[in-house]
Chains A and B, each alone.
Chain A
Amino acid sequence: EIVLTQSPGTLSLSPGERATLSCRASQSFSTSYLAWYQQKPGQAPRLLIYATSRRASGIPDRFSGSGSGTDFTLNIIRLEPEDFAVYYCQHYYKSPYTFGQGTRLEIK
C-alpha cells in the first residue's frame, strides 16, 4: 500500500498570500496518478488537480500542482477567503488508491 503523508497538518495564512502544500509518497509513481481535492465543512470533496498538474473543470488558475517521483506540491497563489478549507492528495497508481491525511488551510 502506498502511504501519502501531507505537510503541514495545518497552514495559517492571510488572504492574498501564497500557500504551498506538500504530499510525499512512500514509493515512487508516475505523475499521471496524483490528484488533489478540496473539502469545505459540510460539503463533499471537490477535485482540483489530477495527473499532478492538470486543473479540473472550473478550477481557477490560482491553483497549480507540480511534482514527480515521491514529492508532490499544491500551490495556491493570491489566497481568496473561499480557499480556506482542507486539502487532500490521493494517488490512483495501484489499489488501494489511498488519500493523504489532509492539510487544513486556515485564516491567520
Chain B
Amino acid sequence: EVQLVQSGAEVKKPGESLKISCKASGYSFSSYWIGWVRQKPGKGLEWMAIMFPRDSDTKYNPSFQGQVTISVDKSISTAYLQLSSLQASDTAIYYCARADTVQLLYPDAFDIWGQGTMVTVSS
C-alpha cells in the first residue's frame, strides 16, 4: 500500500525551530516529488514547497522561502520540513503529499497525502 506517515503533533514556543517528518512506503521514493502544504485552523490550503528526491530539484513558494527548508533522506524514504523562528501564526496542520513527475521535470497533482501534523506555537 502506498502511504505517507507523518510525525506526531508538536507544541513549540515562539522563536523555536521544528523539523517534522514524512515517511513514504509502498513506492519508489526517489521517483516522485514530495511536497508540503499548510492549513491554518479553519482556513484553506497553502502550497509551501516541493522536492524531487532523485536530483534534489526544489521549488519554494516565495511566501515561505527563508522560513522553511525541505529535505529528504533517500536511505530511509523520508522527507522533512524544517520550520524556523516559529510564531503563533505558524500554528497549523502541515501535510506532506506525493506528486508524480511530468517528463522528469515538473510535478503533477498531489495523489497521495499524509495524515497531517498539527503544530501549535504558543508561549
Residues of A within 8 A of B (CB): 1, 32, 35, 37, 39, 44-47, 50-51, 56-57, 88, 90, 92, 95-102
Contact = CB atoms under 8 A, between A and B. Distances in A.
Contacts, number: 66
A95 B61 contact: yes
B114 interface: yes
Interface of B: 35, 37, 44-47, 50, 59-63, 95, 97, 99, 102, 106-111, 113-116
B44 A45 contact: no
Contact of A96 (B44, B61, B110): B61
**Residue among B37, B59, B102, B107 with max Cβ neighbours from chain A (10 Å):** B37
Contact of B95 (A45, A50, A101): A45
Contacts of A57: 111
A99 B95 contact: no
